[in-house]
């Protein structure tokens, strides 16, 4: 037996159609969306048109490219803090132009501000920080090296242990002289 109890000749319980709850903000002025066409950073893939910061929810998005497509934004999620909606539309192909109720944007091929992630990072050098006494301390700050992070943790632990040993030793010495 599969653990569920069924009587002979009866169907399992059914609960009918699901209930859908839609929350819409009250008294929000109509705002135009901010549009962006997002392309894959590396490799091949479809473009995405992102419409953000618009209200009311029900708008029409037109994607122009090889295969034009018209989408409805009626299921756009709500951003609670700004009481506006956002919607990401895609057609599976390259998008040349994206329009949403009078606002439009075109795809640009400007990649001048994209960093080159294939470049190997430079070696990490220690940073010297001046202390209050005017001397310098050679602490490594945010190195990203797991061995160095473990070494810093070990040294900090040993410093705490030494401070506790000195404190307990001092208390025991004082106790020995008093009693």
Which residue did the predictor score with more confidence, 8 or 53?
A: 53
User: Could you tell me if 103 and 35 are in contact, meaning their C-beta atoms sit under 8 angstroms apart?
Assistant: yes
pLDDT at site 115: 58
Residue 156, token pair as written in the block: 């900090």
**Tens digit of each residue's pLDDT (9 = 90 or more) over 147-178:** 777 888 888 999 999 999 999 999 999 998 88
pLDDT for the residue numbered 168: 93
Reported pTM: 0.50
pLDDT reported for residue 6: 47
Q: Which of 5-14, 20-29, 78-87, 109-118 has the lowest mean pLDDT?
A: 5-14
User: What is the reported pLDDT for 118?
Assistant: 63
User: Residue holding tokens 């599976």?
Assistant: 92
Instruction: Choose the weakest-confidence range: 10-19, 51-60, 87-96.
Output: 10-19
Quick: pLDDT tens for 86-144: 999 988 888 889 999 888 888 877 655 555 656 665 665 555 555 555 554 555 455 56
Phi, psi of 165 (to 5 degrees): -60, -45
Arithmetic mean of pLDDT, 62-84: 87
Query: What is the rounded distance in angstroms from the CA atom of residue 70 to the CA atom of residue 2?
Result: 47
- Which pLDDT score, from 0 to 100, does residue 83 have? 84
Q: What is the distance between the alpha carbons of residues 82 and 76, in angstroms, rounded to a whole number?
A: 14
Torsional class of 134: left (φ above 0), alpha (ψ -120 to 50), beta (otherwise): left
Q: Is the pLDDT of residue 7 over 70?
A: no
């Amino acid at each position: 037996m599969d653990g569920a109890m069924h009587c002979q000749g009866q169907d399992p319980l059914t609960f009918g159609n699901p209930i859908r709850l839609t929350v819409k903000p009250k008294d929000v002025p109509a705002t135009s969306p901010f549009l962006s066409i997002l392309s894959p950073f590396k490799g091949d893939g479809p473009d995405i048109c992102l419409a953000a910061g618009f209200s009311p929810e029900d708008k029409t998005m037109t994607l122009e490219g090889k295969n034009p497509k018209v989408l409805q934004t009626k299921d756009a999620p709500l951003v609670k803090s700004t009481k506006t909606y956002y919607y990401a539309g895609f057609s599976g192909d390259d998008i040349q132009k994206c329009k949403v109720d009078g606002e439009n944007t075109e795809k640009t091929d400007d990649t001048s501000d994209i960093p080159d992630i294939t470049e190997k990072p430079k070696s990490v050098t220690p940073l010297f920080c001046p202390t209050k006494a005017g001397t310098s301390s050679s602490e490594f700050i945010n190195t990203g090296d797991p061995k160095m992070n473990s070494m810093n943790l070990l040294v900090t632990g040993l410093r705490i242990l030494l401070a506790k040993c000195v404190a307990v030793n001092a208390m025991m010495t004082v106790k020995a002289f008093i009693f």
